[in-house]
Amino acid sequence: MAMRKNWTRDELLIALNIYHKLNFGQLHARQPVIVNLAEKMGRGANSLAMKLNNLASLDPVLKLRGIQGLSGASALDQSVWNEFHLDLNETIPASEEALRQLFAAGESTVVEVLPKEGVKVKKAPPHGPTEFLASTKQRRGQEFFRDAVLNNFGGRCGVTQLALRELLVASHILPWGMNEKERLNVRNGLALSRLYDAAFDRGLIAFDENLKLLLSNRLKLELPQRAVAESFAAYAGQCLILPNDATLPDLAFLSEHRAKIFSQS
């Protein structure tokens, strides 16, 4: 049985990393990710689950939805929460690196947080030219964003419900290269299949203020093609599908995507 001990800043940074990769309903002691992480930390799963629920009480997104965590957050919890969210581009890569070190993950591996399976260290897929040139800090941020966004959508494409993780992309609503402040914001992410990610990135599709799928006029002109009809027209007007306790995409970001990227010509 793990002995009771005070939480440290570094432990809280790792806990916050995991907090943002799980939905509120998954913050319990039987959750495989929490079980795995608690073991590595030398803590009990109940202790870690309680700490994550303490952190949930500080989450303004949950408060807006009328959801409350446990009322036991410490002054250190509040301090580290503020530090973590003050500059996500700095603290998220650092917390991701700390998580990797905790699980002894080498450079040739990736650490995936899978709600149904736990924390898994896997062989990294081959790097493309862009990934190869990216700094370690950027890669760690991208790794966090991918896990957080895909898990927020229940590990499925928000449109087609495709559940093969290898074929899913954590799409940025506001492009990575143009919106540094929001790069790692989970509310700036959509879980989409590779096909839908490419269409969204190029403005061929968008989502309205009710999260319904819009097709561009250019895409509509291709509807006589069976592939376009089955892949896109079949889902037109459908709302994005997310778990009930998911964090919703930012409507302002989707509006900006429609105004600046969505092709309506």
Residue 112 banded pLDDT, cuts 50, 70, 90: very high
Instruction: Flag whether pLDDT at 2 surpasses 60.
Output: no
What is the per-residue pLDDT for 134?
60
Instruction: Flag whether pLDDT at 234 surpasses 90.
Output: yes
Residue 174 banded pLDDT, cuts 50, 70, 90: very high
What is the per-residue pLDDT for 65?
85
Task: Output Rg (C-alpha) for the chain, integer angstroms.
Answer: 19
Residue with tokens 């969204």: 200
Residue 80 banded pLDDT, cuts 50, 70, 90: very high
Strand partners, 123: 109
Longest dimension (CA), the chain: 66
CB 120 within 8 A of CB 111: yes
Q: CA-to-CA distance for 151 and 137, rounded, in angstroms?
A: 21
What is the per-residue pLDDT for 127?
56
Pairing of strands 213-215, 205-207: antiparallel
CB 152 within 8 A of CB 246: yes
Instruction: Flag whether pLDDT at 130 surpasses 60.
Output: no
Instruction: Flag whether pLDDT at 4 surpasses 80.
Output: no
How do residues 183-219 score in pLDDT, each as one tens digit? 999 999 999 999 999 999 999 999 999 999 999 999 9
Q: From residue 84, how far is each of 13, 204, 209, 249 by CA, in Å? A: 7, 35, 29, 20
φ, ψ at 6 (rounded to 5°)? -70, 145
CA dihedral 10, 16, 18, 22 (to 10 degrees): 170
What is the per-residue pLDDT for 64?
85
> What global pTM score does this model have?
0.90
Q: From residue 259, how far is each of 28, 179, 252, 264 by CA, in Å? A: 41, 15, 11, 9
What is the per-residue pLDDT for 3?
55
φ, ψ at 205 (rounded to 5°)? -135, 160
CB 150 within 8 A of CB 168: yes
Burial class of 117 by CB neighbour count within 10 A (0 to 12, 13 to 18, 19+): exposed
What is the per-residue pLDDT for 264?
67
Question: CB neighbours (10 Å) of residue 130?
Answer: 8
Token pair of 250, please?
A: 């930012």
Question: CB neighbours (10 Å) of residue 257?
Answer: 23
What mean pLDDT do residues 50-63 have?
A: 95
